[in-house]
Amino acid sequence: MRIVLVGPPGAGKGTQAHLLAKTLSIPHISTGDLFRANIGQGTPLGVEAKSYMDAGRLVPDEVTIGMAKDRMLQEDAAGGFLLDGFPRNLGQAKALDEFLAEQGIELDGVLDLEVPEDEVVRRIAGRRLCRNDGGHVFHVDYNAPKTEGVCDECGGELYQRSDDTEEAVRTRLEVYHTETEPIIDYYRQQGLIATIPALGKVDEVTQRAIEALKQDS
């Protein structure tokens, strides 16, 4: 299957993408992984992307699109893939359609993870990370440490990332509404959108997504 996963920050896209890709036996292709791989390997696209990032500038769509195309042409993606974080705007969505048409293939569905905005803010703004090990993550509501501000694992100080504050999250949501949300209507017009309520247990959300894909297939 060839699937696109969309949703606001804090919707759980990364978690669901990993689980869905594993369940469907297709590669999970995320924008973050594409950038890390290309920059780490020193590919021409990676070098170009790094030059923009080092200058504090946005990486142009054509660079991101080029990375995504290269990844989708790899052997393990021949039977399908799950795109997470790409396409991020209408230009990228149209470029993806053109690429798929050139390859003689089509998307099977676009899963839209739906989470109320207040819940998005609560999920992200409540996160706390350990300064000793960023892998130790807590949440003031859902996974509170035994002692406020102290990591249960190593006793390190817990802190809130600057881009996890409520103000920063609401800014990120504004960007999502402006840049990414239009692709939902774009794909809806193609009959590809399946809206998945993303509240509840992780496995419940995954099951909803699987059922939606079965209905569309």
21: tokens are 């890709």
* Marked catalytic residue, from 22, 36, 131, 161: 161
Please indicate whether residue 122 is annotated as part of the active site.
no
Please indicate whether residue 208 is annotated as part of the active site.
no
Nearest to 111 by CA among 91, 89, 77, 84: 84
* Marked catalytic residue, from 13, 122, 123, 208: 13
Spatial contact of 107 and 2, defined as CB atoms under 8 Å apart: yes
Strand partners, 197: 114
**Which DSSP state fits 157?**
B
Q: Would you tell me how many other CB atoms lie within 10 Å of the CB of residue 48?
A: 18
* Marked catalytic residue, from 88, 94, 170, 188: 88
State how far the Cα of 159 lies from the Cα of 172, in Å rounded to an integer. 20
DSSP string, 41-72: HT-HHHHHHHHHHHTT-PPPHHHHHHHHHHHH
* Marked catalytic residue, from 2, 123, 127, 128: 127
Instruction: Answer whether the bond into residue 44 is a cis peptide, omega within 30°.
Output: no
CA dist 207 → 67, 142, 204, 212 (Å): 30, 22, 5, 9
Please indicate whether residue 57 is annotated as part of the active site.
no
* Marked catalytic residue, from 2, 123, 128, 172: 172
Catalytically annotated residues:
13, 88, 127, 161, 172
